[in-house]
């Protein structure tokens, strides 16, 4: 005669009771959800210290009693708004960094106007980023600085670092940054030159419309759009889930146009020819040679990234000339590695541990 082992976990009665309670909460909070408008974002106090066209260089007001010597500049991708860095209290990488004592700046590229369709990689890497770096040095009084680039912002930061290795760049952080465009998965397939007429798109439209950019991201996971709504309803009782969902959904839907000439250049020279990876990219007669990068480098890769897949991001440290370099592979997707509850537990403290000792 065997004795039954005590059961662990809830009984079926408790499960049903839990689900009934959640169903009631869903109905109540579901109505609230429909009633409340978009959540506020980018709430961390900052000063706009420089404006140029649509570009704004922001300096976040320090909150710590003492700060690290080396200031940090965040460089966003050209395809999305930068408030992913500063979603809201408790969900802001910038707030976290300020609390940890970093002196934080950010380049907000703004929303491209029709005349910005002429902007090229040369403008961003040879003009805008160096200009902002200089203004940050003037304001902080420090020549050394750190640069953190997210997604294509990281690509811009890499190119800048290769072109200006001696201009004070001490630390380079590449976050889900594509460098090997042969590994770009679906985006590479869809932009195959046999079928993708980039010249016709840019010549007709100028800037690539925000809707086109949005649709291309949605097509990576076409089923997710519907299933995320089901999941939202299922979790409507969970305030933390709903708060995070609303913030990320707002950002995900808030796409911006992509400057036309930069898009053409990105497609032809990076996506088709993979020139950055091969050290063949030339901007304004200057060769972008990644081996010239000597700054300490942290390459943060998201394990389940379908926008900048592992194959596209993993090789940065093999290409650069830095001695102090580290790869950090973290669980998460392209966005969740940077923002959201998991990011605050994984990436943010890991970044702080690496960057803190290199910011003195």
Smallest distance, another protein to C-beta of residue 291, A = 30
Select 142 or 315, whichever has its Cβ closest to another protein. 142
Contact 82, 106 (CB under 8 A): yes
Q: Does 349 engage in binding with another protein (CB under 8 A)?
A: no
| Dist. CA 121–CA 158, nearest whole Å | 12
Q: Does 345 engage in binding with another protein (CB under 8 A)?
A: no
- Residue 334 appears among annotated catalytic residues: yes
Select 165 or 257, whichever has its Cβ closest to another protein. 257
Q: Which of 17, 27, 99, 224 binds another protein (CB under 8 A)?
A: 224
For the four alpha carbons of 200, 271, 309 and 252, in that order, the dihedral sign comes to negative
Q: What are the tokens at 153? A: 């912002």
Of 125, 151, 262, 297, the active-site residue reads 151
- Residue 65 appears among annotated catalytic residues: no
- Residue 125 appears among annotated catalytic residues: no
Select 28 or 189, whichever has its Cβ closest to another protein. 189
Q: Which of 24, 28, 64, 282 binds another protein (CB under 8 A)?
A: 64
Select 100 or 163, whichever has its Cβ closest to another protein. 100
Query: Catalytic site residues?
Result: 151, 305, 334
Residues of this chain that bind another protein (CB under 8 A):
1-12, 15, 19, 47, 49, 51-53, 59, 61-69, 101, 103, 113-115, 142, 186, 189-190, 192, 194-197, 200-201, 204-206, 219-224, 227, 230-231, 234, 353, 356-357, 359-360
């Amino acid at each position: 005669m065997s004795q039954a082992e005590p059961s662990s976990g809830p009984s079926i009665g408790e499960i049903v009771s839990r689900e009934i309670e959640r169903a009631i909460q869903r109905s109540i909070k579901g109505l609230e959800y429909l009633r409340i408008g978009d959540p506020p974002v980018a709430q961390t106090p900052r000063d706009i210290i420089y404006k140029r066209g649509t570009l704004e260089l922001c300096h976040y007001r320090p909150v710590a009693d003492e700060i690290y010597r080396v200031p940090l500049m965040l460089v966003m991708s050209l395809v999305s708004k930068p408030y992913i860095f500063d979603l809201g209290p408790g969900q802001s990488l910038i707030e976290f960094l300020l609390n940890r004592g970093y002196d934080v700046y950010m380049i907000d590229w703004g929303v491209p106007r029709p005349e910005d369709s002429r902007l090229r990689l040369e403008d961003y890497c040879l003009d805008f980023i160096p200009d902002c770096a200089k203004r940050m040095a003037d304001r902080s009084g420090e020549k050394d600085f750190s640069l953190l680039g997210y997604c294509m912002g990281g690509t811009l930061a890499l190119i800048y670092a290769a072109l200006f290795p001696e201009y004070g760049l001490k630390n380079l952080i590449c976050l889900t940054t594509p460098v090997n465009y042969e590994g770009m998965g679906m985006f590479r397939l869809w932009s195959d030159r046999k079928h993708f007429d980039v010249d016709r798109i840019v010549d007709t439209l100028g800037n690539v419309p925000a809707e086109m950019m949005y649709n291309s991201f949605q097509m990576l996971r076409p089923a997710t759009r519907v299933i995320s709504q089901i999941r939202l309803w299922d979790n409507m009782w969970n305030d933390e889930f709903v708060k995070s969902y609303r913030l990320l959904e707002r950002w995900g839907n808030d796409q911006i146009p992509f400057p036309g000439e930069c898009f053409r250049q990105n497609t032809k020279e990076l996506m088709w020819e993979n020139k950055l990876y091969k050290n063949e990219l030339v901007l304004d007669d200057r060769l972008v040679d990644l081996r010239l990068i000597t700054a300490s480098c942290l390459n943060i890769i998201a394990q389940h990234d379908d926008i900048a897949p592992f194959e596209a991001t993993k090789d940065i440290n093999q290409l650069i000339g830095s001695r102090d370099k580290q790869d950090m592979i973290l669980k998460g997707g392209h966005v969740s590695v940077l923002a959201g509850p998991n990011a605050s537990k994984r990436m943010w403290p890991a970044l702080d541990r690496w960057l803190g000792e290199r910011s003195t």
